């Protein structure tokens, strides 16, 4: 006896907008700073089993608004700093500890085949960075590049560094795969990046595979705009 069931497409991680996958780290997700932050379209989930601070907030001067905050471990935050919006139906507060561990998802696998990312003036074409035989800095984007053509970019060496004051980068319909190195976006940079609207990687902007143990640090400002998932 066999039973066939059609495949269905669902959001990864139960539709949560911000997800920390580390299984044991304390402060796996940490919120701090002076700017009020609003998370929409999904809540915050921390996979860590750290008993007291899988999610950690020490900011008393700014409020974090989110539809939900859930962790496998514990939550530590200053009273009044977390606002659940929209308000849940009592008695559910939607600030929950000890929730189940999420099963591992099927991750995307964007590829750049053998194409090399080539820059011409201030524009860079999609493909592998750095290209074969490249000499000089491997940081992405290369010096002088402010525009990314649509497509998939595979960073196979170096860091994705936009930390200098006045740094600018624009790109629509782009997927950026960071196979090695770190991602650092500074508050002094102006960044406008958006993910594809169609195709197999619709909505995916930045992907760092689990094999890359680098860090992602994003310090935004009122002029930068990122549209798409950062996974």
Q: Is residue 219 predicted with pLDDT exceeding 80?
A: yes
Cβ pair 105, 132 in contact under 8 A:
no
Q: pLDDT > 70: what percent of the chain? A: 100
**Which residues on neighbouring strands pair with residue 230, listed in sequence order?**
206
The arithmetic mean of pLDDT across residues 20-37, rounded, is: 89
CA distance 34 to 32: 7
Dihedral angle, C-alpha 64, 65, 69, 73, nearest 10 °: 10
Q: What is the mean pLDDT of the chain?
A: 90
Q: Is residue 221 predicted with pLDDT exceeding 90?
A: no
Q: Is residue 14 predicted with pLDDT exceeding 90?
A: no
CA distance 68 to 127: 38
Which pair of structure tokens corresponds to residue 34? 């002076």
Q: Is residue 101 predicted with pLDDT exceeding 80?
A: yes
Q: Is residue 154 predicted with pLDDT exceeding 80?
A: yes
Residue bearing tokens 């008393």: 60
pLDDT tens, 157-190? 999 999 888 889 999 999 999 999 999 998 889 9
pTM for the model = 0.74
CA distance 7 to 115: 33
Long-range CB contact pairs, 212-218, < 8 A, 24+: 212/178, 212/179, 212/180, 212/181, 214/159, 214/178, 214/180, 214/181, 214/182, 214/183, 215/182, 215/183, 215/184, 216/182, 216/183, 217/182, 217/183, 217/184, 217/185, 218/183, 218/185
Q: Is the peptide bond before 88 cis (omega within 30 degrees of 0)?
A: no
């Amino acid at each position: 006896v066999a039973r066939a069931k059609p495949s269905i497409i669902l959001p990864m991680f139960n539709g949560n907008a911000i997800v920390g996958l580390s299984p044991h780290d304390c402060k796996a997700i940490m919120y701090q700073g002076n700017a009020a932050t609003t998370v929409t379209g999904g809540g915050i989930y921390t996979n860590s089993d750290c008993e007291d601070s899988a999610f950690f907030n020490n900011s008393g001067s700014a409020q974090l608004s989110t539809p939900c905050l859930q962790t496998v471990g514990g939550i530590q935050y200053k009273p009044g700093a977390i606002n659940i919006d929209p308000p849940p139906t009592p008695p559910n507060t939607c600030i929950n500890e000890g929730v189940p561990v999420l099963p591992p998802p099927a991750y995307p696998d964007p590829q750049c085949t053998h194409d090399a990312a080539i820059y011409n003036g201030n524009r860079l074409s999609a493909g592998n960075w750095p290209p074969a035989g490249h000499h000089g800095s491997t940081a992405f984007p290369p010096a002088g590049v402010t525009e990314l053509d649509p497509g998939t970019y595979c960073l196979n060496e170096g860091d994705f560094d936009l930390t200098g004051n006045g740094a600018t980068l624009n790109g629509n319909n782009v997927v950026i795969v960071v196979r090695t190195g770190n991602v650092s976006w500074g508050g002094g940079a102006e960044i406008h990046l958006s993910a594809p609207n169609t195709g197999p990687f619709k909505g995916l902007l930045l992907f760092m595979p689990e094999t890359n143990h680098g860090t992602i640090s994003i310090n935004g400002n009122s002029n930068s705009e990122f549209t798409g998932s950062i996974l």
